[in-house]
């Protein structure tokens, strides 16, 4: 990413899970609770992590029978609204990064494949809401990431162009969504995609910690 391009940036869009928030312990807890309640095998941490990022229904679907989908979602969501409060946390220096960007005058937004209900639980519980000008989740849209709709809708909200927008995520689907929206994209390696998988998507930058954004912006 050139310095010239960074000068043009006015809007920074963040993914939520794996980028700003570590909710994996809550997801794993709710996932295996659901499996146990429905007499399915529990799964190991890596298997569950690798299935994260496509929304809760897509998280559960590969591990259960189709007829159990509705019941599994109900169990998972009931458990998860409490698990998020107990077992989610921010990655280091998230407040510092967001406060810095806010003070610099950037517009900040969230684009998440997580349902709105649970995104808002995280945003309120972890005191993130104050930093963001707009929150958009995939259950309000026709398509989920890696489709670029969510990024495009946020840019439209602020009447800004791709060259004025930076997207920050943690997965290959974030890199794909950013590329399809024609925005500069930075991927942080704290999510469920491996570094080699991320490299194959060729985002403009790969960072190991969200705090490294301060060196770029």
**Structure tokens, 38:** 């429905």
**Percent of the chain scored above 90 by pLDDT?**
91
pLDDT tens, residue by residue, 123-142: 999 999 999 999 999 999 99
**92 contacts 20 by C-beta, under 8 angstroms:** no
For the chain, which residues make up each domain, given as ranges? 3-22+90-216, 24-87
The whole-number average pLDDT for the span 98-102 is 97
pLDDT at 3 over 70: no
3-22+90-216 homologous superfamily: HAD superfamily/HAD-like (3.40.50.1000)
The whole-number average pLDDT for the span 42-67 is 93
CA distance 128 to 130: 6
The whole-number average pLDDT for the span 103-122 is 95
- Would the pTM count as exceeding 0.75? yes
24-87 homologous superfamily: Putative phosphatase; domain 2 (1.10.150.240)
Distances (CA, A) of 11 to 53, 96, 132: 23, 18, 11
Distances (CA, A) of 20 to 7, 83, 104, 112, 133: 23, 17, 19, 11, 16
């Amino acid at each position: 990413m050139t310095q010239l391009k960074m000068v043009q940036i006015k809007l920074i869009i963040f993914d939520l899970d794996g980028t700003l928030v570590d909710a994996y312990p809550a997801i794993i807890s709710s996932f295996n609770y659901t499996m146990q309640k429905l007499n399915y095998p529990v799964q190991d941490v890596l298997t569950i992590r690798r299935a994260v990022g496509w929304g809760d229904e897509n998280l559960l679907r590969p591990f259960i029978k189709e007829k159990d989908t509705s019941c599994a979602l109900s169990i998972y969501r009931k458990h998860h609204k409490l698990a998020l409060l107990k077992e989610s946390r921010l990655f280091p220096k998230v407040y510092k990064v967001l406060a810095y960007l806010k003070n610099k005058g950037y517009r900040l937004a969230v684009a998440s494949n997580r349902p709105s209900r649970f995104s808002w639980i995280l945003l309120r519980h972890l005191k993130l809401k104050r930093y963001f000008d707009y929150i958009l989740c995939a259950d309000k849209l026709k398509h989920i990431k890696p489709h670029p709709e969510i990024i495009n809708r946020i840019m439209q909200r602020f009447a800004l162009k791709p060259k004025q927008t930076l997207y920050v995520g943690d997965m290959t689907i974030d890199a794909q969504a950013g590329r399809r929206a024609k925005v500069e994209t930075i991927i942080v390696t704290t999510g469920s995609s491996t570094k080699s998988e991320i490299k194959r998507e060729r985002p403009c930058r790969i960072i190991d910690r969200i705090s490294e954004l301060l060196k770029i912006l």
